[in-house]
């Protein structure tokens, strides 16, 4: 219903998946899927450039980005038990003033609302151990320079390789091509989503039972379940579908919200906090070249420790 924006993920027919979130307002959009065989969560997001003409600016755009993109990333990842699955977060974020040296975001001069939104993205990347992999410009500026507006983040830094950008015939943004290295894993090694508190998290006195019954009655179960081979997979899909419909039509108790941070091993949480502190110091204005080099090297060392911890846990 509008020109521009929107997100989509195509998935091969031989892979089974679950849609974790699909949400959009007049500005920002996000969709996320979990691919079972790859133990992989893929997010695709869109944030429009600020525009006074379209009222995409200031606090309005900041609120949309927080509610649609950031909050949904946090919500999705809070549903997973450890070990955390591989994550790919990609999309058109339209932060032209951001710098992504060594995959870590820093903020250059920009409007205060843009800075706050970019800081939210940087913070969640830090919390989830994500590095940004795109290093080439994806849109040319009026002065002939290049901005990196399309971004790809991942927590498995060996997962994505051979990244390059190509001009597009239909837009002034370039598109990104990359390769992923994945092997199909056995079911026993996949970290399932945590459903242990899902049922008790809902306040059923607030449920719209008529809406729930109506949505369930409209589902063509034979068609939905036809893509799944085993009874176990079919049962999982039924349970997840029912829970999703309940969640849409029933409020949760406030004290039942998931906390992704508490599910991260203590050793890794310490490393993540240390990395966050070092990144803050790196952004300081009064910092010598030697000190900056030392901080950058320390951050790289922490990244290696985090990657090792992640692999051992998996």
Average pLDDT on 223-236 reads: 80
The strand pair at 17-24 and 146-147 is best described as: unpaired
Name the CATH topology of 17-180.
Answer: Deoxyribonuclease I; Chain A (3.60.10)
Supply the pLDDT for residue 195.
46
Angle subtended by helix axes 266-282 and 289-313, to nearest 10? 160
- The closest alpha carbon to 137, from 170, 95, 104, belongs to 95
- Using only C-alpha atoms, the chain has a radius of gyration, in whole angstroms, of 21
Q: Does pLDDT of 313 surpass 80?
A: no
Give dist(CA 70, CA 197) in Å, integer: 23
Q: Name the pLDDT band for 14 (thresholds 50, 70, 90).
A: confident
Give dist(CA 17, CA 236) in Å, integer: 11
Q: In terms of pLDDT, which residue wins out, 276 or 207?
A: 207
Supply the pLDDT for residue 256.
45
Average pLDDT on 117-123 reads: 91
Chain segment 32-47, per-residue pLDDT in tens = 999 988 889 999 999 9
Q: Does pLDDT of 190 surpass 60?
A: no
Supply the pLDDT for residue 288.
80
The strand pair at 40-46 and 86-92 is best described as: parallel
Average pLDDT on 18-41 reads: 92
- Contact of 45 with 69, CB cutoff 8 Å: yes
Question: In this structure, what token pair is assigned to residue 17?
Answer: 């998946």
Q: Does pLDDT of 194 surpass 70?
A: no
Output the DSSP codes for 84-146: PPEEEEEEE---TTEE-GGG--EE-S--HHHHHHHHHHHHHHHHTT-EE---S-SEE-TTS-E
Supply the pLDDT for residue 77.
92
Give dist(CA 122, CA 282) in Å, integer: 14
Is residue 242 classed exposed, middle or buried when 0-12, 13-18 and 19+ CB atoms within 10 A define those classes?
A: middle
What are the CA-CA distances from residue 118 to residues 47, 129, 195 (Å)?
Answer: 11, 16, 32
pTM: 0.64
67-71, 149-153, 289-293: least confident range:
289-293
């Amino acid at each position: 219903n509008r020109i521009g924006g929107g997100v989509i993920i195509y998935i091969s027919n031989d892979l089974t998946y679950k849609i974790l979130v699909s949400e959009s307002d007049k500005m920002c959009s996000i969709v996320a899927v979990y691919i079972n065989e790859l133990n992989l969560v893929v997010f695709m997001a869109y944030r429009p450039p600020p525009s006074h003409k379209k009222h995409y600016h200031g606090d309005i755009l900041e609120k949309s980005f927080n509610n649609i993109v950031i909050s949904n990333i946090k919500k999705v990842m809070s549903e997973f038990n450890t070990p955390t699955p591989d994550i790919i977060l990609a999309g058109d974020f339209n932060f032209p003033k951001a710098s992504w040296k060594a995959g870590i975001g820093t903020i250059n001069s920009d409007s205060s609302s843009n800075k706050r939104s970019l800081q939210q993205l940087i913070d969640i990347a830090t919390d989830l151990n994500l590095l940004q992999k795109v290093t080439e410009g994806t849109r040319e500026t009026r002065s002939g320079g290049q901005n990196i507006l399309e971004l790809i983040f991942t927590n498995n830094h060996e997962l994505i390789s051979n990244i390059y950008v190509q001009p597009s015939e239909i837009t002034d943004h370039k598109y990104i091509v990359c390769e992923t290295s994945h092997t199909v894993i056995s079911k026993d090694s996949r970290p399932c989503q945590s459903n242990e508190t899902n049922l008790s998290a809902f306040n059923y006195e607030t449920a719209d039972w008529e809406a729930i019954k109506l949505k369930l009655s409209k589902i063509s179960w034979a068609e939905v379940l036809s893509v799944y081979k085993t009874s176990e997979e079919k049962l999982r899909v039924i349970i997840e579908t029912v829970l999703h419909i309940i969640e849409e039509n029933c409020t949760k108790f406030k004290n039942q919200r998931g906390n992704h941070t508490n599910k991260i091993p203590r050793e890794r949480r310490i490393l993540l906090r240390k990395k966050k502190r070092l990144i803050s110091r790196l952004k300081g204005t009064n910092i010598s070249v030697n000190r900056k080099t030392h901080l950058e090297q320390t951050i790289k060392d922490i990244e290696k420790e985090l990657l090792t911890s992640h692999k051992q846990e998996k």
